[in-house]
Every structure is written in structure tokens, then in C-alpha cells.
Chain A
């Protein structure tokens, strides 16, 4: 990791009605680095994304923690100041690109507006910048596209427009919330390639929110696996897939049909379901479903402990996870 990360999240805790849906989440994103937050429905990954941008729904509140972008704590920032940050230094793209665009406004005015909002420039300068940006995200015939409406573009094309809009001000960090989930795989491949190239060329850091371990393996440098609002494990991508140190990560990987899995042979199962936020309790939140849980796990929340270079896992029995994989494979 570079000495001064672009974005540092410390102990971020978000509550809805007193239940911590995001609990003590800490991670950092360096310039040009892709950090994935991966997990299943309800793990808090999207809440984390919204919290970073200051876009949480009214019922949810940040009760603790800091979100430091370029030395400024965004949590303490008033809304007006946050508006200047959003879209210029920190931006976001969502899963449904078509729903994120205004259907009644041309692509050109939406993309150029994103630039004009943060720069005092003429309309034509902003328009020119928008055209430049559409070219950068690989949209053929940008001149034509600028004058079209979102319905005239395919889903993949709309996601490219969203990326152009999000990057037009050259943000330090882009939060991408399931950016390819609604797309077909051949289009997903195009968008992932584009994102990787833009990161390398521009040095933008990316927080990649996804449920798809394949997307993680393809695009991420580091990975944080989330479970029930907490980070279960965080590690460099190769390390995480090769040596998971949290039982949840190991089971999740074994539950996916993969190329080295014998067809029709039983996949690993995770019994039970994610506890509701009101039932989190004192212990490890995965304990009730964990095959190696002990009394300690049920009573005491494990902290994220170092288990290798850059590798931390919140598991009291991290040393037994390798054995668990052996028994299910």
C-alpha cells in the first residue's frame, strides 16, 4: 500500500433503529488501487458505499468512525461542503445505469453538467470535456451519443456514460456499487476491462462493491469479505483466494461451482441464514452457521487479527480454516 492512501475508512459504524448494519468497518484505498467489498445480501456492503458518499437513507445514521479523503474527514463535513466533494473528488456508479440517468435529458447535458457543477467554465467547454470523456470510456461516435437520450443506448453503453460522468472531474476515488451485475457477461467483460484501464491510466482508486467472487478475482487488488455488517477478512486478492483465514470466506469459495470442482458433486453449504441485525449479539456474527465455532466464538466478538502480510481475519480459529477446506473439498 502507498504511504498516503487516497481514502481511509476507520471504524465506520452505521445504525438503523439502534441495530448496527455496518459495524466497525475499516479499510484504505490507495491511488490506482481496486479494493473490493464482497458479500451476500444484507452484509452491509451497499450501506458502506452509501455512507462513503453521504447518501444514506434517512433511517440510517453514521454513529461512529471517520471517512478520510485526502486528509479531510467527510463524516464531519456539512452537506454543502459534501456536495462539493461528491462528483468531484469522490463519485459513485450504481448497478442500474439506465435508472441512474435522467430519461428526459440528453447524455451530453448530463455528462457536461457533472463537469460544469464543479468548474466555472462555458457550456461549450463542458460539452467538449464530455465528448473527450465519452471517447475515453470507449463510446463510438461520441458526437452522436451526446445528443441522444438514455433510452437510445443499451445497458452497457449507459454504464459507460455513468463511468464517464463519475470520472469527468478526475476524482480520487470511485465507488462502484455492483457496476456489472445487471449486464450480460460479454458486456461485463468490456466494462471490467475499461475500469481496470482507467484505474491504471488515471490513478483513480476504486471501491468495488460486488457479490461476485469472479468479478473480485478479475478486478480487485485487495478484498474485504463482509458478513452481517462487519469485515470478516481482508487480504490481497491472491492471498485471499489461496489461503482464506475465515471460515465464512472458505465456505463461500467452496460453495461456488468452479472449474476445478467436479461436476454434479455436492457443493459446500452454509447452513442457516444471516441473523437479523437486531439479533447480532455479543459473539462472532457467523458463529451460529460456522462448523468450527466454539463457546468463545458465541460469546466474544473476534477482532481482525494479522495472519499474514496485509492479511487480517476476524476469526478465533483462523488456523483451523485450512483444515476446514480440506474436509469439504
Chain B
């Protein structure tokens, strides 16, 4: 989906991992973790990326922040190409993209105070030092609902939810245009999850930051996203605005995913006609030919086994990769 002035533009991004083979490492399998993905995120917008284990949603977010090399494709941050960029250009572009991971305990150095953790990106780039740096750290902490005095404390003195706030403060330190959030609330209890979701939405309103929000949880995706992309085995199979996707899902996989998520409403849950998919998720090392979903799809026909469907626009603006939807 094209945007007039996108913060992030991903074109045909492909990430393949070579597995080591047997004798002399020859004949190893290639895992097609991400295969020809296009994405665009506008300013102040949230793109939700949803899918199950192994669909490539974490790989693409890692590729966007440069943690995984791409095999092919282009990633532009505020118009600046970062694939193949180096030195100054890469450094400048990276400032605009920050990341928040699932497990905040593993994202923080246990031996550094949280003040030091948040100050580091600012100090490294020479943005602030001394009292000015301390003041900025204090501001960032209050921005995420902690106190400036907390800067002196260590990660273990905080709860899981508070640690995720600290990680968010650090991600915001350089005033990025985009924060990539990879399952940021999946390890948190329901009540804490609500606090972090509220915080992320509130920060977006105040700072105009964009999010790429990766999650396996459709109810969270629905709550936070403006646009939603659904991934299956390395490819986007449906991409639409939140309202269109949830009101009229088109790809059979999207429908199955929605019907599989149990709603916290017993009556609605009983009334729901559940579309239970048969079979297991194929391995990304062995993606089925044609449409990758055909092995589990109730609508699959001859053409699906032969020909890979491309994302094509529908009347309501949704992009769907299915021969029969």
C-alpha cells in the first residue's frame, strides 16, 4: 500500500537462511523466512503485523532494524535506503528506527542502572552530556510513567511491566520516527498488558511516532493498529485497514485465524462457527508450491497447488493473495 510520505517503505524484501547441509556443508536447505514482502507505514500510523510461529513476522522486523541481512529488496526509512548503506548514511537512518522486544528482562543489562541504559543512545550520538543528559533521561522516564529518581535503580528492582516501560523510554530517547515493537505485550499479564497498550497509544498521540506492531494476538492487533498485514509462511496474504480487515476478512487463512481466537464472551463464542484448520503449519524450510496455504485450505483447488497467488486489490481497498477469495 503506497503512502504519500511514508516513514517506512519496504519493497520486495526477502530473507533466506541457508541451513548447513551434510558432507562439507553442501546441499543445505534454504529457509525462506521472508519472501517478497512489501510494506509502508505513514507518519503517526500503526501497522499491525500478525501471524503464527514461523510466518516471518519477527524476521522482517529484525531486517528493518538491521539485525538480519536481507537477501533481496529495499528498505527505506524516511526515503533513505538502508539496505547496502554504510557509515554515516546508515547511522543517520538508524536513528529514526528503534526497537522494543518481547522480553524486557533480556533487553536490559542487569548490571547497568536504568538511567545508564536510557542515556546510552543519547551519549553515543553526542546529543547530550552531563546535567543535560540527566535531565533528558528524567524527562523520558516521566514520559513512560516512571519517576526521574528511578534512574539510579537497576532492572531487577522493577516489575515486568515497569521494565517494558524502561525499554520504551530507551527506544524513544532519539526521537525516532518509527518504533518496531516485536510482541511487546505477549509476556505480560492482562492487567499489565493494558497499561503498556495504553502507554503506547498515548505516546503515539503525543509524539506522532509510527509503530510496526508485531503480534500473534489478533485482539491486541485490532486494538492498536490502523493498518493490518497478515503473514503466512514468509508472505503477506492479506493487507487492509483495520476496519476493513476485521469487518470483512477475505483470505481463508485470515478467516480461520479470526475464528480460532477465542473471544472472552461465552455466548458469542458458542454462536461462532469455528473453522478448525486441519493439519499442521508446514515448515518454512519446505514451503508448499503454489499458494503456501493450500495444504490446509478448505477452498484449495488445482490452480492453488500450481500457481502462487499475488496480492491483488479488492473493491474495499483490501489486498488479498488468494485465487478464490
Contact = CB atoms under 8 A, between A and B. Distances in A.
Contacts of B198: 266-267, 269
B256 A258 contact: no
A186 interface: yes
Contacts of B12: none
A154 interface: yes
Interface string A273-293: 100000000000000000000
Contacts of A211: 189-190
Nearest to B46: A264
B280 interface: yes
A58 interface: no
B263 A258 contact: yes
Contacts of B266: 217-218, 237-238, 241
Contacts of A268: 194
B219 A259 contact: yes
A40 B194 CA distance: 13
Given A214-B263, A257-B219, A269 B191 contact: yes
A188 B191 CA distance: 23
Contact of B197 (A213, A260, A267): A267
Nearest to A184: B52
B242 A263 contact: yes
Contact of B190 (A40, A193, A218): A40
A189 B274 contact: yes
Contacts of A305: none
Contacts of B190: 40, 211, 213, 252, 255-256
Interface residues of B, number: 41
Nearest to A267: B194
Contacts of B189: 40-41, 211
A174 to B, nearest CB: 19
A257 B160 CA distance: 20
A191 B99 CA distance: 34
Interface in A38-63: 40-41
A264 B194 contact: no
Given A40-B190, A157-B280, A269-B191, A259 B263 contact: yes
A192 B261 CA distance: 11
A273 B265 contact: no
A157 B281 CA distance: 11
Given A218-B269, A256-B219, A192 B262 contact: yes
B267 interface: yes
B223 interface: yes
A270 interface: yes
A269 B195 contact: yes
A208 B274 CA distance: 21
12 contacts: A186-B277, A187-B281, A189-B260, A189-B276, A189-B277, A214-B261, A217-B269, A257-B220, A257-B222, A263-B225, A263-B242, A269-B191
Ordered nearest first, which 9 A-B pairs have the shortest CB separation? A257-B223, A214-B262, A218-B262, A255-B194, A189-B260, A267-B194, A270-B191, A184-B52, A40-B189
